[in-house]
Amino acid sequence: MFLGMSIIADRFMASIEVITSQEKEITTVSNLTLMALGSSAPEILLSIIEIVGHGFQAGDMGPSTIVGSAAFNMFVIIAVCVQNMNQ
């Protein structure tokens, strides 16, 4: 399941890169929106898989997956930015 999700997320990110590189009139806001959607694809896919697997009933993993991964992504991005700042 995780291998399939990884393959789908990678394909999705590759298609976003193709879209943003071909369209010259896409603004920065739309580029950032597409990239945010692409980086959140694994969490979205995990939630969808869980909902479908439980017969369209709420599961245990959905909200905590999204909140936890968003917090992790935020802290990692900030840490990488701080680490790579000019000294």
Task: Quote the tokens at residue 61.
Answer: 């993993």
Q: Over 60: is that where the pLDDT of 87 sits?
A: no
Query: What gap in Å lies between CA 65 and CA 71, rounded to an integer?
Result: 10
Q: Express each pLDDT in 4-41 by its tens digit.
A: 767 777 777 777 777 767 666 666 666 676 677 767 77
Whole-structure pTM value: 0.45
Domain coverage including residue 18 = 2-83
Number of domains the chain is built from: 1
The single-letter DSSP state of residue 25 is S
